[in-house]
Amino acid sequence: MLLIPAIDLKDGNCVRLRQGLMEDATVFSDQPADMASHWRQQGARRLHLVDLNGAFAGEPKNFPAIREILAAVAADIPVQLGGGIRDLATIEKYLTLGLTDVIIGTAAVKNPAFVREACREFAGHIIVGIDAKDGMAAIDGWATVTEHRAADLGRRFADDGVNSIIYTDIGRDGMMSGVNIDATVKLAEAVGIPVIASGGLTDLNDIRALCAAEKDGVTGAITGRAIYEGSIDFAQAQRLADSLGE
């Protein structure tokens, strides 16, 4: 079970939102590259970046901060990023810069053909992010809830060749209320490819529950507010996950 620290970028700062609301942001650092180096030193084996401004604008908006993060850590650990990725040129720019994987979210729902094309052009580097509220996919920085069921979308994108799916329960994101294990497992069972959990990770009990779901295809978990506010010690949590996976 891979634990993946999140660095969410808003106006060049490392922040965390509650339930995806841009107006409810807590700034944890104005030096995101230093934060990335900190998590690497704590034993992170992958980082998760989100361009929050880009997710709402539909185009990259935190490129300078992203470039600095990659310069600091990309030579040592993989880095994935989502937010504002709507075309192949953006994907190529990010991968050339040093990103390992790009995450397609809103564009995957609005234009499924884009995912297929991206998987053909950049095989092995495409992740789809499915953000859901009550099982229904949300887009445009979570501002719009669609009529698409998360499981149906997941099956479609698995067939397109994405390497994994990040499943975020919007209602739990940033709320420290526990991971929605049941919904994440159901998605993993439906799609048959690795699923990374996101939203609500709170304490070591969540780590234990996630590790128990690893056999069902839940291979990782993104953690944000818990490691920034200290309800989880990242290094301790990864050691626990490693021991439970042995």
**Looking at the annotation, which residues are catalytic?**
8, 131
**Structural tokens at position 227:** 């490691």
CA distance 10 to 55: 10
SS3 83: coil
CA distance 91 to 99: 9
In sequence order, what DSSP letters do the residues of 163-229 get, joined into one string? SEEEEEEGGGTTTTS---HHHHHHHHHHH-S-EEEES---SHHHHHHHHHTGGGTEEEEEE-HHHHH
User: Residue 225: left (phi > 0), alpha (psi -120 to 50), or beta?
Assistant: alpha
**Structural tokens at position 103:** 């995450």
H/E element holding 9? strand 2-10
Contact 72, 57 (CB under 8 A): no
* β-strands 136-139, 144-149 pairing: antiparallel
Q: What is the CA radius of gyration of the chain?
A: 16
Buried b (16+ CB within 10 A) or exposed e, 84-101: bbbeeebbeebeeebbbb
